[in-house]
Amino acid sequence: MRRKEAPGRLTLTRAARLAAAVLLAAPALLFSADLTPQQQIESRLMCYCGCSDLTVRTCTCGTADGIREEIGSRLARGESPDQVVAAFIARYGAQIRSAPTKRGFDLLAWSTPYVALFAAGAALVLLVRRWGRGGRRAGAEPPPAAAEAPTSPADREIMKRIEREIREGR
């Protein structure tokens, strides 16, 4: 017997609305614990000590200490974070930056994974739709009626589903 949807019961639309509201509201309602300007700069620079592949923020060697001190004194002199980073790049080259910039050629580094992922995702959606049409056209196999039979008690349905899945080898 089909159970009636209780007024307070979660429906797909309600669930989707609620999830969207939570996800959209969360960033506006919350704020993340920001790093201090000193820590931000430390995260943007790699330690060039040669003994690790760590940012200045995480490296514990003497070289990193020296860089941290210099960052502190430059900030104290009134330099902006970008100016401090630029000063280090001018001295040690672009390699000291911990991540590529989001401009010019370097933008490729950031965009390619997502472009590839979205392109492959779009292709996959098209494929799945086409395969879905193939499935419906073939129509040989009925939908898993037992699992969806409104008259079966929930427990029996679950048991049947699990039994079927086990039998079919998944």
Partner 1 sequence: MPDFGTLCLLIALACTGWAVIASYNGWRARSGELILSAERAVYAAWALVALAVLSLEYCIFQDRFDVEYVASYSNRALPRLYKVAALWAGQSGSILFWLFILLSYAALVLLLNRRRNRLLMPIVTTTLSFVATFFLLLVNFMTRPFVRLAVAPPDGGGMNPQLQNPFMAIHPPCLYAGYVGLTVPFAFAIAALATGSLNETWFRTTRRFTILSWFILGTGILLGGWWAYVELGWGGYWAWDPVENASLIPWLTCTAFLHSVMIEERKKMLRVWNLALVIMSFELAILGTFITRSGVISSVHSFTKSDVGPVFAGFLGLSVLVSVGLLIYRLPDLKSENRLDSFVSRESTFLFNNLLLVGAAFAVLWGTLFPILSEAVRGVKITVGPPFFNEIMVPIAFGLITLAGICPIIAWRRATPRKLLERIQVPFWSLLGGALALILGGVRDVYAIVSFSLCVFVIATTVMEFYWGARARQKATGERALAALRSLVDRNKRRYGGFIVHMGVMLIIIGITGSSAFKQDRTASLKRGESFSVGPYTMRFEDMVSSPDPGAAAHHGDETPNQNSEFQGARLAVFRGGRPAGMLVPGQNFYSAGQTTSTEVDILHSLREDLYLILIGFDPREGRATLKAYLNPLINWIWIGGAVVIAGAWLAMLPDLRDRKREAESRLREAERNAA
Per the CB < 8 A criterion, the answer to whether 98 and 45 are in contact is: yes
For partner 1, which residue of 37, 72, 106, 152 counts as binding (CB under 8 A)? 106
In the DSSP assignment, the letter for residue 58 is T
**N- to C-terminal Cα distance for the chain?**
30
Q: How far apart are CA 72 and CA 66, in angstroms?
A: 10
- Using rule CB under 8 A, residue 147 touches partner 1: yes
**Ranges within 53-92 binding partner 1 (CB under 8 A):** 53-55, 58-60, 62, 65
Q: Is 70 exposed, middle or buried (0-12, 13-18, 19+ CB in 10 A)?
A: middle
**What whole-number distance in Å separates Cα of residue 42 and Cα of residue 59?**
10
Least distance to partner 1 from the beta carbon of 109, Å?
5
- Binding mask of the shown chain, residues 15 to 44, with x at each position contacting partner 1 by CB under 8 A: x--x---xx--xx-xxxxx---------xx
Give the per-residue contact string, 122-141, with partner 1 (x = CB under 8 A; - = no). --x---xxxxx-xxx-x--x
Q: From the list 6, 12, 76, 90, which residue makes contact with partner 1 (rule: CB under 8 A)?
A: 12
Q: Is 105 in the site for partner 1 (CB under 8 A)?
A: yes
Tokens standing for 43? 């995260």
Stretch that binds partner 1, among 70-78, 79-87, 101-109 (CB under 8 A): 101-109
